[in-house]
Structure 1
Amino acid sequence: MKKIASTLVLLSLVFVGCKSNEIAETFTQKVEKAHQKEVFTSKQAVQFDLKLDFGGQERLNAQLTLLTNSSQGLLAFKNGDTIIFNKDKVFYSPTITKDESVRFDAYTWGYFSFFPFKLSDQGTIWNAYENKEKDAANYDTEKLTFKSGTGDAPDDWYVVYADKKTNLIEKAAYIVTFSGDKAKAEANPHAIQYLDYKEVDGVPIATKWVFWGWKEGTGLTDEIGHASLTNIKFVTVTDDTFKANPSFKTK
């Protein structure tokens, strides 16, 4: 009887241990698993067409080719302009005369498209977030900040909403401090909503983005922009894919 009792106790401890492991799974682990991060990062590069508008005006229309490790990327605009980035260096066509947003464009749209796969990047800090919005029960929500010196805008933050049923990211509120004015950015936060997920080689990718104003405690406010991702595919690249023309400027 003692042996049977000991066996039952051991089995109970194993069961409790298994349940504890399930409970211990972090927000980022659940989201990355749902987004098939391991499959995504096993690919070399992804390519897609991105059309973006704000306030009814076209903001961007380009084909993006990005390494899945985010170290290199190419934006080939429909008007013939090109932006290439290699880690922290950005090269761009001399025909781009208004170059204030070149670095912003080089990194931001790729970051938004890769966002579900970058939650545990070096320099990320995750904290609990008390979601007081009326539909809070539908989401797991946490806040992302960054260690000093991370990227071009370490003062940015994100409030990330994952659908409780699917663990896919549906919304991410954020501030843009690229200009360096954090107080101004925090006075006007925005949000990106990820919609119409489609599987590409087993990886769910949002094919529609909607941009909103955002207010803490309220959530999404005014609709301000839209984006569509089409012709999404995983590709292989060559040494020449991200090679800048000698005439290109640097930023």
Structure 2
Amino acid sequence: MKRLFVLLLVTVLFSCKNDTKKEVKKENFPEVLSKVFTKHGGLDNWRNQKVISFNKGEEAHTVDLNSRKTTIHSPEYSLGYNGKEVWLMQKDSTSFKGNKGFYYNLYFYFYAMPFVLADDGIIYEEVTPITFEGKEYPGYKISYKANVGTSPDDNYFVYYNTETFQMEWLGYTVTYFSKKATTKANLIRYNSWENVNGFLLPKAITWYKKDENGQPTETSGKPVDFTLPLVSQGQLSDSFFEKPME
């Protein structure tokens, strides 16, 4: 009887342990956004990837998808984030004209849409659709819990095609410099995509002007093109993201 009790106890403990392993993290994003993620290659597939890279003009961007460590290399300058600090190397003091802390992950966020909208600490809220050329695009506002990231007051607005569930537009606010919340949102059209290792990623993005009601009207400047895309399960060493020796 004693041996039977021990056997039953072990069986129960083993079962509980297995049940714990089977627990799946419950996502908190709206069901319709799940369809958007699926359209673009699937969130589970995305989370199995380790590295993403792309070129923007002469800049070669490489990002570790888990740690978000980053490098950007161009003929005139290099900058990156090694997990602790943002570094910059340039030929002279005028080679890089932006703010390194703001810029290092800016185009990664634009390029890795819509998958970065499933990061931890995000709050979702349905918003009024936008209309362009007679077609309506429903949307969701993405905001962040306090103390998430360097600009937790930033907001994103993703708008999708109701027939294909493909992402079509992105609105976003910038609070990095002011550190204050704002309702002034920029608007980008995502209407050029390509298949990269099973993921639908942007080939080009275009900024748009808006009317007094926040509806897109016409382009604002030339499109930004992305080339040489790569999404990989290969892991890069930490040294890849360190500042090169001068």
Is the TM-score greater than 0.5? Answer: yes
Q: TM-score range by the shorter chain?
A: 0.7 to 0.9
Q: Encode CA deviations 1:194-231: one digit per residue, 9 max, x unaligned.
A: 12211111111110100123357342134223210111
The residue aligned with 1:101 is: 99
Q: How many residues align?
A: 212
Is 1:35 matched up with 2:40?
A: yes
CA-based RMSD: 2.6
Secondary structure of the corresponding residue to residue 226 of structure 2:
strand
Q: What amino acid sits opposite 1:75 in the alignment? A: I
1: CA distance between counterparts of 2:35 and 2:120? 18
Deviation at 1:117, TM superposition (A): 0.7
Alignment check: 8 A CA contact 2:55 2:61 kept: yes
Q: What amino acid sits opposite 1:229 in the alignment? A: F
1: CA distance between counterparts of 2:121 and 2:231? 27
Secondary structure of the corresponding residue to residue 33 of structure 1:
helix
The residue aligned with 1:244 is: 243
Q: TM-score, normalised by structure 1?
A: 0.74
Of 122, 125, 139, the residue aligned with 2:123 is 125
Q: What amino acid sits opposite 2:31 in the alignment? A: T
Summarize the Cα distance change of 1:179–1:35 in structure 2 as closer, same or farther, 3 Å threshold: same
Q: Encode CA deviations 1:36-87: one digit per residue, 9 max, x unaligned.
A: 2322322221221113xxxxxxxxx3011112235211111232x1111133
Alignment check: 8 A CA contact 1:210 1:223 kept: yes
Is 1:113 matched up with 2:111?
A: yes
The residue aligned with 1:66 is: 63
The residue aligned with 1:170 is: 168
Secondary structure of the corresponding residue to residue 119 of structure 1:
helix
1: CA distance between counterparts of 2:107 and 2:35? 24
Secondary structure of the corresponding residue to residue 131 of structure 1:
strand
Bigger RCO of structures 1 and 2 (CA < 8 A, at least 6 apart): 1
- The answer for unaligned runs of 5 or more in structure 1 is 1-23, 52-60
Q: Encode CA deviations 1:86-117: one digit per residue, 9 max, x unaligned.
A: 33521111546356511111011111111211
Matches within 5 A, 1:185-200: 186-187=183-184, 189-200=185-196
Q: Which stretch of the first structure deviates more once superposed, 69-78 or 95-104?
A: 95-104
Alignment check: 8 A CA contact 2:144 2:153 kept: yes
2: CA distance between counterparts of 1:64 and 1:132? 31
